Amino acid sequence: MALKDGFLWGGAVAAHQLEGGYDQGGKGLSTMDVTTSGDQTHKRRFTREILPGENYPNHEAIDFYHRYEDDIALMAEMGFKCFRTSIAWSRIFPNGDEAEPNEEGLRFYDRLFDCCLEHGIQPVVTLSHFEIPLHLVNEYGGWRDRRLIGFFVRFATVCFERYRDKVTYWMTFNEINNQANYMEDYALLADSGIVAEPGEDRERTMFQAAHYELVASAAAIEAGRKINPAFRLGCMIAMCPVYPLTCKPEDILMAHKAMERRYYYADVHVNGVYPANTLALWRRRGFDLDVTDEDLAQLARGCVDYIGFSYYMSFAIEHKQGNVHYDYREDTDLVPNPNLKRSDWGWAIDPIGLRYALNWFTDKYALPLFIVENGFGAYDKVEADGSIHDPYRVDYLRAHIEQMKLAVDEDGVDLMGYTPWGCIDLVSAGTGQMDKRYGFIYVDKNDAGEGALERSRKDSFAWYQRVIASNGEEL
Ligand code: P53
């Protein structure tokens, strides 16, 4: 038996990608409520307000807000032990900066978590998953502003106190390192609510915002521990290992530098201090960041208990001539890995990369790990009889679970659980599409927003049910 008893099999989603009900229950607007849909060739756009004639896929999403009871029953049918979702900050604090929370928003998550627990499903909760109250962007410029630390800690504390006896597993910021790709507008916006100004030094902006987030995360963790010492408080890292394209020393060092840039956030979460490489980079750039002694003390008091991470793909990089400082530039220096196939969205399929990632985290941090996202975004076809055959999804997940088991069995990785992403079809974060599907449960809705929102079981549903029932033995 590779996996321990009590292994947390389940699935993962995020509030804005499935709830809908964007203006229900006293909810305020969130950044994702004013972000349009896109597709493979068109980027999503942040419009700052709701404009007529635009398609905002998160307004309705899959209407989980009204249908969660039936959806959780389907997850229970698959045998889920846990269900990872996020709390929409703007349901609890509609503007983000109020003194008192919105009771109706709190009650929604009471009902949702109670429903999970009645089915024997543990909620696993991310506090900030790619959205913040829109007011915090318009009034404060998002995480550019130090005052967001206080607002976030208040939000986290309210959630910890309210759901003290319902939720054990928490994560502070989803894929906090996604913004390492700061040249992509979406990366800055999703994580930090930052709209970059023309000509601004985006790298500096990113490091400053990420610093405030890391301090806020540490302060929340310190508060959470006092509220319930049994809480398990983690971070969440987007793990895309960066491989050297060749064994040229320049490429090896380039890949190493890329890994430092993508994962310094984990160093801070785990060790409570900035690594030397990041401090050296700030010095070299001449960044005079707002980092106080009290901040540094706070970081050290709020280290995580475990590392949650997503894994979809690996990257490859080569050292380009003239890049004397081995700076990581995700938009220009990544290259296709000739050894790997890609999804329809260009994501390299690399199951062994998951084993590599599990080993890398374990060797570097020696903490329990939780794979809180993994999955295959694909187009699905509904047959005339309503069935959906998705062997490509099963192939992807099987290959990754095999590698995950090897990491536990042969490499000694301490793994808490596995929650594939988008266990029910939902709105894609990157493109805003519905037709980029990850689910075991199909949702009848397409990119144009058409469909009756009915749910049905794909072939992968019964497959995953068997996987869970056999604790990963029957793949
Ligand atoms: P979508 C990029 C790279 C890796 C993970 O992504 C990413 C992204 C952002 O697009 O995000 C995570 O929906 C994220 C989820 C997201 C999921 O991966 O673009 O935590 O919110 O939906 C899949 O296909």
pTM over 0.95: yes
Query: Is pLDDT at 1 greater than 70 in this prediction?
Result: no
Query: Is pLDDT at 429 greater than 70 in this prediction?
Result: yes
Residues annotated catalytic, as ranges = 175, 373
Q: Which domain holds residue 34?
A: 8-469
The answer to whether residue 252 is domain-embedded is yes
The bridge status of strand 369-373 relative to strand 415-418 is: parallel
Which atom of ligand 1 lies at the shortest distance from residue 14's CA? 21
The CA angle 422-425-430, to the nearest 5 degrees, is 65
Give pLDDT, residue 274: 98
Query: Is pLDDT at 40 greater than 90 in this prediction?
Result: no
- Number of domains the chain is built from: 1
- Joined together, the tokens standing for residue 165 give 């006896």
Query: From the CA of 176, how far away is ligand 1's center (Å)?
Result: 12
The answer to whether residue 474 is domain-embedded is no
- The C-alpha atoms of residue 382 and residue 236 are separated, in whole angstroms, by 34
Which atom of ligand 1 lies at the shortest distance from residue 240's CA? 4
Residue type, 25: G
Query: From the CA of 430, how far away is ligand 1's center (Å)?
Result: 6
Please choose, from the candidates 49, 17, 254, 63, the residue with its C-alpha nearest in 3D space to the C-alpha of residue 137. 49
Instruction: Give the mutation target among 182, 428, 435, 447 for probing the ligand 1 site: most ligand atoms within 8 A of CB.
Output: 428
Assign 172 a pLDDT band (cuts: 50, 70, 90): very high
The answer to whether residue 456 is domain-embedded is yes
Query: Is pLDDT at 51 greater than 70 in this prediction?
Result: yes
The answer to whether residue 384 is domain-embedded is yes
Which atom of ligand 1 lies at the shortest distance from residue 347's CA? 3
Assign 2 a pLDDT band (cuts: 50, 70, 90): confident
Query: Is pLDDT at 188 greater than 70 in this prediction?
Result: yes
| Mean pLDDT in residue range 46-74 | 97
Provide the b/e sequence for 176-186 (b: ≥16 CB within 10 Å). Answer: bbbbbbbebbb
| Mean pLDDT in residue range 458-464 | 98
Query: Is pLDDT at 252 greater than 90 in this prediction?
Result: yes
Assign 440 a pLDDT band (cuts: 50, 70, 90): very high
- The C-alpha atoms of residue 91 and residue 22 are separated, in whole angstroms, by 9
Give pLDDT, residue 462: 98
Task: Give pLDDT tens digits for 81-123.
Answer: 999 999 999 999 999 999 999 999 999 999 999 999 999 999 9
CA distances from 84 to 100, 345, 347 (A): 26, 24, 23
The CATH number linked to 250 is: 3.20.20.80
Ligand 1 shell residues, CB under 6 Å: 14, 17, 130, 174-175, 238, 310, 312, 373, 377, 421, 428-431, 436
Pick left, alpha or beta for residue 353 (phi over 0 → left; psi -120 to 50 → alpha; otherwise beta).
alpha
The answer to whether residue 475 is domain-embedded is no
